Amino acid sequence: MHSRFIRTLLFAFVMLSMSAAAFAKIGVVITVGPPPLPVYEQPICPGDGYLWTPGYWGWGDDFNDYYWIPGTWVLAPEVGFLWTPGYWGWGGDSFVFYDGYWGPQIGFYGGINYGFGYFGTGFEGGRWDGGHFFYNRAVMNVNVENIHNVYNTTVVHETVVNRVSFNGGNGGINARPTPEQETIAHERHVGPVAAQTQHVQEARNNPEQRVSRNQGKPPIAATARPSDFKGAGVVQAREAGGTYNRTAERPANGSANNGSANNAARPAPGHVKELPPAEKLPPPNTGNAKADKKYQQQQDKQYAQQQKERQKLQQQQEKEDQRIQKQNNDAQRQQTEQRHQQQTQNLMQRHQQQNQQMQQRMQPPAPRPEPRR
């Protein structure tokens, strides 16, 4: 539970500088959960090596509404990596989004049944073998004439009575991460790739994707490729996943209560030693080998500096903790703990902003428009 909250803080700090994926920000209190998941078909896999990333509801703070981010096929950033979907969860006083990530194993995604192999835990849609991804045709829409890495294994899972899209709170999925899933959250993984970030931005800029306009039945429920919102690869929702009568609201006084008295707010990490291992950015892929090498060097240098800052602050906090324990002064101990918590949060925020700025610099240049003839 504690690691999930840390991931929430990390995600919130990223959101301070990443408008393309503005699901939640510090200071945003979303008291109404996202709409049910719409019913839609999976577009056919566009090519070998593409992995399915299920659709989900994002949050637009500037227009105060949920909007649908279509499911889509994405190339994995590394051979052997799988996608753990993000999910919404009740955080004690508001709904928060836990960002998805790429890694060698599937982690916890709230128990949400996104379908297409993501039935609430693990992934049944395929597996890596010998450097190739093999698709399970029982749950994946794959053209065997173009893709030969396939198998067929029937997946038995519980029938979904509803299409709930969030964890915890009133009406949410009652699921908690297992010890193994907690461990996976601390293993090496990377966040969404650039194509996914652009895909989110495309959905966010389309007013028809907002629940206030589509009533939970988005016109673009899934796409064959990221950001490709037109053409044969676009799939419309067949129907809404259920009734949804109101958009999310933020109370003016900043407080929130959805009636879930059993969900207590979780404490923020108070020390650097409580943070998960620092994540490395995905390898640069600008299409220019010379530029990629330069960016990789910058990444390595920044990562090393961030690790150095972590270690320095952790050593400082541990020394202060040892000193304050000997003094037996409760008031001073409380002040020290508050200062350590602020130091830790400031460090997290600074490093996340640095990583986001680095990723923005590594974006491939936009193609130049062809001259008119």
pLDDT at residue 269 in the model? 58
Q: Is the Cβ–Cβ distance between 223 and 53 less than 8 Å?
A: no
Q: Which candidate, 349, 338, 273, 354, places its Cα nearest to that of 311?
A: 273
CA distances in angstroms from 297 to 31, 181, 257, 283, 293, listed in the order given: 43, 32, 47, 10, 6
Last residue of a domain, one of 202, 223, 244: 223
Q: Do 48 and 111 belong together in one domain?
A: yes
- Assess whether pLDDT exceeds 90 at residue 8: no
Last residue of a domain, one of 157, 191, 223: 223
Note whether residue 15 is domain-resident.
Answer: yes
- Assess whether pLDDT exceeds 70 at residue 5: no
- Give the β-pairing of 71-75 and 82-84: unpaired
CA distances in angstroms from 96 to 22, 78, 145, 294, listed in the order given: 12, 28, 42, 36
- Assess whether pLDDT exceeds 80 at residue 245: no
Q: Is the Cβ–Cβ distance between 255 and 93 less than 8 Å?
A: yes
Note whether residue 214 is domain-resident.
Answer: yes
Q: Do 143 and 214 belong together in one domain?
A: yes
Q: Do 142 and 39 belong together in one domain?
A: yes
pLDDT at residue 27 in the model? 37
Confidence of residue 246 (pLDDT cuts 50, 70, 90): low
What mean pLDDT do residues 263-271 have? 48
Q: Is the Cβ–Cβ distance between 51 and 82 less than 8 Å?
A: yes
Q: Do 145 and 11 belong together in one domain?
A: yes
Note whether residue 264 is domain-resident.
Answer: no
Contacts with 367 (C-beta within 8 Å, 6 or more apart), sequence order = none
Please count the structural domains in the chain.
Answer: 2
Q: Which range is most confident: 44-53, 237-246, 268-277, 357-366?
A: 44-53
pTM of the full predicted structure? 0.61
Q: Do 11 and 113 belong together in one domain?
A: yes
- Assess whether pLDDT exceeds 90 at residue 94: no
pLDDT at residue 180 in the model? 92
Q: Do 301 and 202 belong together in one domain?
A: no
Q: Do 43 and 152 belong together in one domain?
A: yes
Note whether residue 8 is domain-resident.
Answer: yes
Domain that holds residue 347: 278-361
Note whether residue 286 is domain-resident.
Answer: yes
Number of helical (H) and strand (E) elements in the chain, helices listed first = 6, 15
Per-residue pLDDT of 145-194, as tens digits, reads: 888 999 998 876 554 456 899 998 888 999 999 999 989 988 888 999 99
Q: Is the Cβ–Cβ distance between 299 and 358 less than 8 Å?
A: yes
Q: Do 184 and 286 belong together in one domain?
A: no
Query: Measured between alpha carbons, how far is 248 from 236 in angstroms, rounded to an integer?
Result: 24
Q: Do 297 and 213 belong together in one domain?
A: no
Q: Which candidate, 163, 11, 1, 156, places its Cα nearest to that of 96?
A: 11
Give the 3-state secondary structure of residue 150: strand
Q: Do 314 and 175 belong together in one domain?
A: no
- Assess whether pLDDT exceeds 50 at residue 98: yes
Note whether residue 72 is domain-resident.
Answer: yes
What is the percentage of the chain residues whose pLDDT exceeds 90? 45
HEC states along 39-89?
ECCCCCCCCCCEEEECCEEEEECCCCEEEEECEEEEECCCCCCEEECCEEE
Per-residue pLDDT of 315-349, as tens digits, reads: 998 888 888 888 777 778 778 887 887 788 788 87
Note whether residue 253 is domain-resident.
Answer: no
Note whether residue 248 is domain-resident.
Answer: no
Tokens of 319: 């020394």
Residue bearing tokens 């029937």:
154
State in Å, rounded, how far the first CA of the chain is from the last one: 60
Give the 3-state secondary structure of residue 117: coil
Angle between helices 289-327 and 330-361 (to 10 degrees): 180
Query: Measured between alpha carbons, how far is 199 from 281 in angstroms, rounded to an integer?
Result: 19
What mean pLDDT do residues 268-292 have? 76
Query: Measured between alpha carbons, how far is 225 from 71 in angstroms, rounded to an integer?
Result: 9
Q: Do 80 and 175 belong together in one domain?
A: yes
Last residue of a domain, one of 184, 206, 223: 223
pLDDT at residue 368 in the model? 52
Q: Do 213 and 343 belong together in one domain?
A: no
